[in-house]
Structures are given as structure tokens and as C-alpha cells.
Amino acid sequence: MVYYNACSYLLGVGSIILKGNWGRGLKIKREKHSCWRREIIFENVRKKNYLNRPSRFNCNFLCTSTKDLQRFVKEYDRWFDIFYLVEPINPSASIFETNISYIPPPNETNFVFKKAAHRYWKADETIEGIKEILVDSDIRILELVEGAGIQTLTKSASLPF
């Protein structure tokens, strides 16, 4: 199965995106990162109640459509991201589909985070929002997809220097 991924760096077809980059960034900044407290609570809820789900700290995040990918980059102001068509390296890796709309902003209370984490990991309610796929695998880039940051690469511009 193929999926879509957005990341801020230009990579070629065949490149591998290692799992766990989001978690690596969080672990570097720890409490200084605005999402640290929320992600720790989400991870603790996962470990206690949903151990069969991939960890947000050690996965790759994917979308099933360019529509969801476009909504993601717009909602999170990731105007610089480049879209890729990708596939998991490990075809038997754990894959979990949920909805990013379950994730509250980083300034909420621990109580709100815990309640939201259960909704996120259960993923049994149908709500409007962006589908998010967590895969416990590195991913391979199959092709660049038109969208977001790719326009900067494809448009010729008159530069001021």
C-alpha cells in the first residue's frame, strides 16, 4: 500500500525516511518543546491501554490522500513541506489509522490531554478531520507529488540578487 508524507527537506526518489523523527525532536528539546507534556501523556496512555498501537515517538506519520496532506500542512502552517508518495519498508509493520483532530493544542490541561489520548488511541468515533496514519516502519520515497513546497522548486522566479 502507498501513502503520502510531507517533510521539510528535499529528498530523491528511493530515499529512506527513518521512523521516529518527531520523537527525536521532542526528546532533544524535552520540556522546552510546546508539545512535550501532551506527547508524554499520549505516550503513557498508549503504553498503559493501547500497547498494540505504534508509538508517536517512534513512527512515521502518513496520510491516505493528498487532500488530507494538504489540510495537514495548511492547519499546521507547514508551508515549506514537500509532498511525497511513500511506502513502508516493512510491509508487516504495525499501522494505525486515527484522526489528528483528536489532538488538542499544546496549552491544554493534563486532564484534557488524557481524555483526548483515549479518543485518539481508540479511534472508534467518526468525526470530521484529517486522517493520520502511524506506521512503525521506515518509509521509502516513490515520487515527489505536486503540492506545498514543491511549487518553489518548479516555478522559475526572478530573484532579487
Domain count, the chain: 1
What's the CATH code of the domain at 101? 3.20.170
Q: Mean pLDDT, the chain, as a whole number?
A: 89
Buried-exposed string 59-84: b where 16+ CB fall within 10 A, e elsewhere: bbbbbeebebbbbbbeeeeeeebbbb
Parent domain of 86:
3-154
Would you say residue 22 lies in a domain?
A: yes
Would you say residue 161 lies in a domain?
A: no
Would you say residue 110 lies in a domain?
A: yes
Q: pTM, whole model, 2 decimals?
A: 0.86
Would you say residue 160 lies in a domain?
A: no
pLDDT per residue as tens digits for the range 2-43: 899 999 889 999 999 999 988 888 888 888 888 899 999 999
Would you say residue 124 lies in a domain?
A: yes
